[in-house]
Chains A and B, each alone.
Chain A
């Protein structure tokens, strides 16, 4: 069964460093998402991406974040200058449809990358 994969499973970085979290969505999916879950808290939407551009972003997704689909398979989240409060689990998700029509927008989640900022 196709699944979303994420690498690395755990990333440790120093405050101020740049990190790139990688995701490989399900191959025929067109919509991609990043979510964040600070330890013990709820899952929060960060950004959605379609047709090589951001379709929506939350207030959390500020200028230090960026997303990219550098090739036909990867979807990345870059944090330019990490802060302590960026420590969280980051989930990637993909779906084969988004807004419009009667589509369900069922999002399939990856296993997450745990980011620890020291």
Chain B
């Protein structure tokens, strides 16, 4: 079965610092989808990005960027010039092509950005 590991339980940075959240995944499928979600203190899950396994191109969206490397089974997320509003729990998730009704989440990384 697929597995997602987010080794960083908590990260604390000072505003304007860059921060990278790590995500390592395991899957036997050659086709799969990777996701990042943000969960602010209010509790809802906010979709950030989806990436399929055939698209290793890195993506940048404003202050957010994602580095997908199949060779290391990693899909890391970087926030540039962090802001207090970035404080949240961030989840990485994996969905396999042949079983993509079952999205598996990592344990999450709690990011605290201090002013």
**Interface of A toward B, CB cutoff 8 Å:** 31, 33, 35, 41-45, 48, 50, 55-56, 58, 89, 91, 98-99, 104-109, 111-112, 114
CB-contacts of B69-115 with A (<8 A): 91, 93, 95, 97-108
The total of Cβ contacts below 8 Å across the A-B interface reads 60
**Interface of B toward A, CB cutoff 8 Å:** 33, 37, 43-45, 47, 50, 52, 91, 93, 95, 97-108
Bound CA–CA A58/B105 (angstroms): 13
**Contact of A111 with B95 at beta-carbon distance under 8 Å, contacts A56-B101, A104-B33, A105-B33 already known:** no
In the complex, which residues of chain A have a beta carbon less than 8 angstroms from the beta carbon of B37? 43, 109
Contacting pair A43 B105 (CB below 8 A): yes
Return B5 CB to nearest CB of chain A, in Å: 11
List 5 A-B pairs, Cβ < 8 Å: A33-B101, A43-B93, A45-B103, A56-B101, A109-B45
Bound CA–CA A44/B47 (angstroms): 16
